[in-house]
Amino acid sequence: MDQQTDSRRIGLVDALRGFALLAIVLLHNLEHYNIFGSPADPPAWISALDRGVFDTIFFFLAGKAYATFSLLFGLSFFIQMRNARRRGCDYRMRFAWRMLILVGFSQLHALFYNGDILLLYAVCGLILIPASSWRNRTVAIVATVLMIQPWAWGKIIYAALNPGYIDTNNGFAVFAASAEEAGRTGTFLQTLVNNIWNGQLYSNFWQVEAGRLFQTPALFLFGMLLGRLNMFERNDLNTRRWRKALLWGLISAVPLYCLSRFVPPLIANVTILSYYCIAIPMLYNFAFMVVLVSAFVLLWFARSGRGAKWQTLLVPYGRMSLTNYITQSIIGVTIYYHYGLNLYDKVGSAGSALIAVAIVAAQLIFSRYWLSTHRQGPLEHIWKRFTWLNAGKKQESNGLFARVGENV
């Protein structure tokens, strides 16, 4: 495979990662970085506009952006592992060390924002080490079982057999209340101190209770499998594969949406309801994510493998995903939290979406500028340097694939 083809394929992955991060920034701004609020008594037309913006963005992106981001994390692992094997290196322990470094980044991020995902990524990423030696069939089976949410279905079955059993699955709520109050009223130091304990417990309890402890490793495995199947290379076979994925994603998403939207009001048992609202929406979001990713890839392929103009604009944003992910949170909390501009209850969804666009635009400009003189973003560079600590120069160099492998 020639270098130009490799470069285009990497550009596609970076662009898709940039798209996922853009969507995450939009969602975080609509949520005001977990201190939900809105202006009191806005004019009717503004209220209608805000509702329309919120519903539209959440319908298309909520749950799908995270899934796409996670899928690409697994793909990056595959690329790193493949490159190491080509050099005759065993990358497994190096990757475990890399996940430990990611824990450090997660603690930095969690100081500012109580919605960190990096700690979960670091923990769940360890499944990729043994999975790297599994056959494709085994990877697909394990990923599918995890995606189905076996714990949630076990709870549903148990509650159906024991009607008196109550589990509202909201242990995160007490920590959420404290973290949100700190964001609304606390000083900078008070917010950081609260995030060290309550913010992290809020974030991690919620992610476990929301099913992400099963969903995330499943997506990592699916991403690794996509890498093994070479799905991001433009050819006739992959074009047919992505078209089939798009079709089956659409066929699956429609009934799953109906099940997630119309069945919950019919469920009286609070435990069954709590876990049903995890299992089915998770599958719906996965199906919709397949639709979005397939459409994105097919559009890229349709432009001679070079992508549409708006897609190529996202490439530098995706190349610096770790830097941009952490800095967008720092910018966002400064805008909405009490110690900053305190806008959490002063702007509605439409205004928040505009703020998100401004954040992304600023980060895009910075990313293009930075990458004009550097191979990687600043945090990506630090992550790579620590990953290959005490390694030889030859091992440290990843060649063309380095930039994909160094992204979240």
Q: How many CB atoms lie within 10 A of CB 388?
A: 17
pLDDT tens digit sequence for 117-159? 999 999 999 999 999 999 999 999 999 999 999 999 999 999 9
**C-beta neighbour count of 171 within 10 angstroms:** 14
In Å, what is the CA distance from 193 to each residue of 10, 113, 115, 196, 330?
40, 12, 15, 5, 15
181-227 pLDDT tens trace: 999 999 999 999 999 999 999 999 999 999 999 999 999 999 999 99
| Structural domain spans, the chain | 3-405
Q: Distance between CA atoms of 220 and 124, rounded to whole angstroms? A: 8
Look up residue 230 and give its two tokens: 């070479």
The predicted structure's pLDDT at residue 399: 35
Query: Taking a C-beta distance cutoff of 8 angstroms, is the pair 61, 209 a contact?
Result: no
Phi, psi torsion values for 36, nearest 5 degrees: -55, 135
Listed in sequence order, the residues at least 6 apart from 86 whose beta carbon sits closer than 8 Å to its beta carbon are none
Residue 306 burial (C-beta neighbours within 10 Å; 0-12, 13-18, 19+) = middle
At residue 305, the pLDDT reads 80
Predicted local distance difference test score (pLDDT) of residue 408:
46
Contact indicator for 211, 284 with CB cutoff of 8 Å: no
- Residue ranges of the chain with per-residue pLDDT less than 70: 1-8, 392-408
Residue 233 is classified by DSSP as S
DSSP state of 134: S
- Give pLDDT, residue 7: 62
Q: Give the pTM.
A: 0.94
Query: Counting beta carbons within 10 angstroms of the beta carbon of residue 346, is it exposed (0 to 12), middle (13 to 18) or buried (19 or more)?
Result: middle
What CA–CA distance (Å, rounded) separates 302 from 308? 8
Q: What is the pLDDT of residue 4?
A: 52
pLDDT at 292: 98
- Judge contact between 112 and 200, C-beta under 8 A: no
The CA distance from 399 to 396, in Å, is 9
Please give the biggest Cα pair distance in the chain: 65
- Residue 86: its pLDDT value, please? 86
